[in-house]
Amino acid sequence: MRQPAFSTILTLSRACALTALSVACGCSAKNDAPAASASREVKFATSDGYTIAATMYPADQTKPPGLVLVPMLGSTRERWQNFARAAQREGYMAIAIDMRGHGDSTVRNGENTSHKSFKTEDWLGVLHDIEAAKKSLIENGADTENIAVIGASIGANLALRYATTDPDIQAVGMISPGMDYRGVTVEEPFKQLKTRPVLLMDAIGDAYSADTCTALEKLAPGHCDLHEYAGAAHGTDLLDTNENAIGQILQWLSPIIGPDSKKVKM
């Protein structure tokens, strides 16, 4: 299992994240990059009977690093499209899922379901969705040693919870996490990540998430970066309203699981 060269990972202070310094550092997404490979719709079964719909964004290289993208409550995989295509251009293979009870992932063992009736145990069942998405990435050629999971809002909490069950996950991105969303808590699981790197992102005006990120940064047992932004955008809305956010995530990922051409050699 490859380990990141932590000394090479860019750490941005809160002041940097709130200014245009990231533009000067080249953190913005590459809007002028060549068009990436076409995405494709996929479906797969979870170990507990759900049929999960997802969008796969292949990479134009052999054994690319893989990203599992988890939406926020009430949202669907389409909200990850801008990020996934930017990641694709940088050489990542990404898969964005509709969580169980959302979008096109509402059927379990032939019966329709809805997230509106979910209890905590149902939300924790999303860990099976992430597990199946990771398996689909690997079956489609992703590098088993270079996979990260990134989530938004409750998807951030679930991304973290999944990583604590799967040592193959090399990094976790948490956009607008909360200490407790629908019973999916993060404080104790966060400590369990140990040395694996975590990226925290929030908008200062999104008070609950901002307070959560501040608290988690202090609890971090390993490498943790916190990026904060002006405004109050939440989850994937933060990526849409802050032009540098996508590029900063990709820059953070690069020395950890990035394509070999970008990865810092150990």
Q: What residue ranges do the domains of the chain occupy? A: 16-257
Q: Would you put residue 229 in left (φ > 0), alpha (ψ -120 to 50) or beta?
A: beta
CA distance 26 to 68: 24
Q: Could you give the angle at which helices 154-163 and 126-139 cross, rounded to 10 degrees?
A: 70
- Gyration radius of the chain over CA positions: 17
CATH class of 16-257: alpha beta
The structure's pTM equals 0.86
Per-residue pLDDT tens over the stretch 209-260: 999 999 999 999 889 999 999 999 999 999 999 999 999 999 999 999 998 7
Per-residue pLDDT tens over the stretch 20-77: 333 333 443 334 443 445 899 999 999 999 999 999 999 989 999 999 999 999 999 9
CA distance 89 to 77: 18
Question: Residues 146, 257: contact at Cβ < 8 Å?
Answer: yes
CA distance 100 to 114: 8
| Percent of the chain residues topping a pLDDT of 70 | 84
Give the DSSP per-residue string, 179-203.
SEETTEE-HHHHHHTTTS-EEEEEE
The vertex-188 CA angle with 163 and 126, nearest 5°, equals 40
Distances (CA, A) of 243 to 19, 23, 177: 12, 9, 20
Residue for token pair 């533009």: 23
> Mean of the pLDDT values across residues 130-152?
97
Residue 45 CB partners (closer than 8 Å, separation 6+): 51, 52, 132
Mean pLDDT computed over every residue of the chain: 87
